[in-house]
Structure formats: structure tokens, C-alpha cells
Amino acid sequence: MQFAGKKGLILGVANDHSIAWAIAKQIMEAGGECGFTHLPDRPGDDRQRSRRRVARLTDKYENAKFLIPMDAQKDEDIRSVFEYTASEFGKIDFLLHSIAFADRDDLSRDTVETSRAGFKLAMDISVYTLLACTNAARPLLNPGAAVAAMTFFGGEKCVPGYNVMGVCKAALEAAVRYLAFELGPQDVRVNALSAGPIRTLAGRAAGVDGMLELYQQMAPLGKNVTHDEVGRTGAFLLSEMSSGITGEILHVDGGYHSMGSPGRLLDRLK
């Protein structure tokens, strides 16, 4: 029960495939209490589909303490989420940022053709929100608390098809290092988990279906990572077990990032 007595906020659960849900489950099963946000429902959506998709998951967990709407593009939404969190939890011990978005048109275009509006949108949602949410969380973070964000190898190297999102992930990883430096004196750690491809809403939009076979062939472990594996490492980064680690990009990708050649895939090509 390494999260016994610990409380925190999970940003980015859309459904049961979401990486944020895989991480939250590990935390709650280890005794942690979580608050959740969901994308606001569209005006006029009386069925509240967005909220219900997440509530269906959180309702089953006693340690899921609240579920409130947040469009991370809106400063007032961020403010009210952290005010609500303060009123429910007082201080918090962890914050997970598992949010990204790019317009499909921009993702399907070559990076060189990214539109200005699409670039701003992708950078705003996928990068700036980490700064904004961490800043809003600052007064609430206990000494020893941890912040974690989700990234992908396409931020380090060119992964054709990942395109503008790769540019966003490079910026996100830089943001993690600056935040780690600035929050260090408060004894707060900031890290990112770089996951291999996982089938999720955002993942499919960014082309993971086409990457799964490649990872299976090329990664030293010869397989794709599972939701549970990413969930456990996310929980580790948000727990005291990782005290001493900050400003780090931790890969959970079967070792794919460590390869300098196609490895066993070469045998198949021969």
C-alpha cells in the first residue's frame, strides 16, 4: 500500500484504454486517493457522454474521490479544478498530466505543412497545459510530491507520421526539465514517462497502429508494452519509490529507444 494516505489529481482519462486510467488504477489499488477530470460535455449533450465514459470507471472505485470537468485550454477551468482539489484534498502528493491533442488534418500532413493554427492548438493543449497545471498545483504540492507527464520517442528522434506531435513532445520534455529545476527547492519532482505505442484514442490518431508491429520486431524485449506495464511505471514515478529521480524521461517501450540498428528485424529483411 505504497500510496496509503496519499492524494492527487489525474488529468487525462477519456476511457478505459487511457494511459491515465492505467496509472490511476495502480495508484488507487495501492491505497491512493485520486481526483479526476473529464473533457466538458458539448453544450446540448444531455446524455453527458464525456462525463459518463469516465464516471463508468471511477464509480467502481471508492478511492476515486471526485470527477469534475476541465478544458485545459481554459485558464478558468484550470483555476476551478485546483480550487476544488484544495477544498476536497487540502494538499496533494501527485499530479499526472496525460493530455495531448493535435488536429487530425495536421497529423496527417507532413510536418513541414503544419498550419499555424494547428501548431498553436497542438502546442497549447499538449505542452502549455503542463506548465499551467503545474503552476496551479504548486501551492498544493506537499514536500516529496511528484508530477508526471506522458511523452513518446517521436520527441527525441524523427518518427515519420508522428509529425507535429513529435515537435510537441520535444517541447514537453524540455518543459519537464525546466519544471524539475524550478520545483526542486520545494522538494517536488517532475518527470516524464516515454511509453511505447499503446492503442488509445490519442494513440490511434497519432498512428500507433502502424508502429506496433515495428516495435514488436525491433524492441529488445520483442513485444509491445501493456497498459499495466505503463501503469505500474507511472505509479512508480508518482510515488516515494522514485524519490531522487527528477527531470528524467523514463522509457517504458521494451527497450526500443536503446536500439541503434533494426536489430532482429534485419534478419527478417535478409
Ligand X SMILES: NC(=O)c1ccc[n+]([C@@H]2O[C@H](COP(=O)([O-])OP(=O)(O)OC[C@H]3O[C@@H](n4cnc5c(N)ncnc54)[C@H](O)[C@@H]3O)[C@@H](O)[C@H]2O)c1
**Active site members:** 162, 169
Cβ-contact 191, 246 below 8 angstroms: yes
Q: Interface with ligand X by CB under 6 A: which range of 55-63, 133-141, 190-198, 240-248?
A: 190-198
Task: Cell 471511477: give the residue.
Answer: 58
- Selected binder of ligand X within 81, 99, 145, 180 (CB under 6 A): 99
Three cell numbers at 251?
522509457
Strand order in the sheet with 64-69: 64-69, 33-38, 7-11, 92-97, 141-151, 189-195, 249-252
| C-beta of 81 vs 145, nearer to ligand X | 81
Q: Using the rule CB under 6 A, is 73 a contact of ligand X?
A: yes
Range in contact with ligand X (rule: CB under 6 A) among 17-25, 61-69, 83-91, 109-117: 17-25
Q: Does 92 count as an annotated binding residue?
A: no
Min separation Cβ 115 and ligand X, Å: 18
Q: Which of 85, 98, 242, 246 binds ligand X (CB under 6 A)?
A: 98
Nearer to ligand X, 187 or 213 (CB): 213
Nearer to ligand X, 101 or 256 (CB): 101
Q: Does 101 bind ligand X (CB under 6 A)?
A: yes
Least Å distance, CB 46 to ligand X, is 20
**Alpha-carbon span 237 to 265, nearest angstrom:** 32
Task: Verify binding: residue 85, ligand X, rule CB under 6 A.
Answer: no
Q: Which of 9, 10, 13, 140 binds ligand X (CB under 6 A)?
A: 13
Compute the least distance from the CB of residue 266 to ligand X, in Å. 25
Shortest distance (Å) from residue 52 CB to ligand X: 14
Name the residue nearer to ligand X (CB basis): 103 or 240. 103
Q: Which of 114, 200, 224, 246 binds ligand X (CB under 6 A)?
A: 200
Q: How far apart are CA 26 and CA 3, in angstroms?
A: 9
E strand or H helix at 38: strand 33-38
Q: 144: buried, middle or exposed (CB in 10 Å: 19+, 13-18, 0-12)?
A: middle
How far, rounded to the nearest angstrom, does the alpha carbon of residue 257 sit from its chain's CA centroid?
18
* Backbone dihedral angles phi then psi of residue 10, each to the nearest 5 degrees: -115, 115
- Please choose, from the candidates 4, 48, 49, 3, the residue with its C-alpha nearest in 3D space to the C-alpha of residue 23: 3
Residue 99 is assigned to a ligand binding site: yes
Do 31 and 3 form a contact (C-beta atoms < 8 A)? Answer: yes
Rounded to an integer, what distance in angstroms lies between the CA atom of residue 160 and that of residue 166? 9
In the DSSP assignment, the letter for residue 157 is: S
State which residue has the least CB distance to ligand X: 203
Q: Which residues are annotated as a binding site for substrate?
A: 102
**Chain positions contacting ligand X, by CB under 6 A:** 12-14, 17-20, 39, 70-73, 98-101, 125, 150-152, 195, 197-198, 200-203, 208
Q: Which residues are annotated as a binding site?
A: 12, 18-19, 99, 102, 169, 198-202
